[in-house]
Amino acid sequence: MAKRIFHRKRLTGCLWQIVRVALPTYVLIILIMMFIETWLVYPMPPRHRGDWEPSQLEREDILFESADGTRLFGWYVPHQNPRYGLVYCHGNGEHVADNAKVVASLRDELQASVFIFDYRGYGKSEGRPYEAGVVADGEAAQKWLADRMELETDQIVMMGRSLGGAVAIASASKLGARALVVESSFARMTDTAQQLYPWLPVRFVMRNRYDSIARIGQYDGPLFQSHGTNDEIIPITHGRELFQAAPTEAKKFLELHGLGHNNVPPPTYRAQIAKFLDEHSEN
């Protein structure tokens, strides 16, 4: 009996020693992850990457301001006879200069005048990124294009990929939109981060939350959403959850079979967006 008690006390002591070492280490890891959150959420590429002077793209370099006065940079790519004005919100690992071919394709295939811009801290835009600021940047871009084309903000098509989808949703939920096009985006950023780091209390400590579920509930216009079935960053189940939360009846979910998060969509992809806009957006 005494021997059993001795072994129990010894085991308890060993467990306590493990906890004394493991708990501070775990807390330290959490603090480190909180410290580098901005870098993880906004892995801004170096400015020198990409082509800032694409010879085949007719464009205007635009400087405009966000609501707090932060100076932002973008390209305005006009169509000679536009059917739409479209704001494109890029992903978190790219900037304007990475997207010359994308905006040229959107201009030509959707017959749209396109405005692509960099969030604060990205490319030639000033400041440092954080959720409220980036959302405000999206709203400023939508207002800029509406003013330039002499339209109301709810006559602008908002389009975004990955993080940009969350930015487009946030802006459309506040300012309205002629249509909303969302590519490979999440329901809530905290859900995606929790899946990537299941051993961390992400939902409790993350500052950049991007709750697109809540925001899309405030938007009732046309929604075209697409997602790769093999998306390794944001699982397609997250995209479906977001789609189900949208209250509009004018919506379409397109599965891109076999595609991962950063794969190029098939050649017919933007033609399907154009068809959706033709069917659901008002003239």
Residue with tokens 């957006």: 281
Task: Say what the pLDDT of residue 59 is.
Answer: 97
Per DSSP, the residues of the chain read -HHHHHHHHHHHHHHHHHHHHHHHHHHHHHHHHHHTHHHHH--PPPTTSS-SS-TT---EEEEEE-TTS-EEEEEEE--SS-SEEEEEE--TT--GGG-HHHHHHHHHHHTEEEEEE--TTSTT--S---HHHHHHHHHHHHHHHHHHTT--GGGEEEEEETHHHHHHHHHHHHH--SEEEEES--SBHHHHHHHH-TTS-HHHH-S---BHHHHHTT--S-EEEEEETT-SSS-HHHHHHHHHH---SSEEEEEETT--TTPPPPTTHHHHHHHHHHHHS--
pLDDT at 204 over 50: yes
- Residues 1-50: tens digit of each pLDDT: 545 554 565 556 566 566 566 667 766 676 777 778 898 999 999 999 99
Give CA–CA dist 137/135, Å, rounded: 5
State the amino acid at position 222 in one-letter form.
P
Give CA–CA dist 16/230, Å, rounded: 43
CB 224 within 8 A of CB 254: yes
CB 132 within 8 A of CB 105: no
- Residues 143-156: tens digit of each pLDDT: 999 999 999 999 99
Mean pLDDT taken over the chain: 92
Give CA–CA dist 174/141, Å, rounded: 13
**Total number of residues shown for the chain:** 283
- Residues 62-118: tens digit of each pLDDT: 999 999 999 999 999 999 999 999 999 999 999 999 999 999 999 999 999 999 999
pTM tops 0.75: yes
Count CB neighbours of 60 within 10 A: 11
State the amino acid at position 130 in one-letter form.
Y
Task: Say what the pLDDT of residue 205 is.
Answer: 87
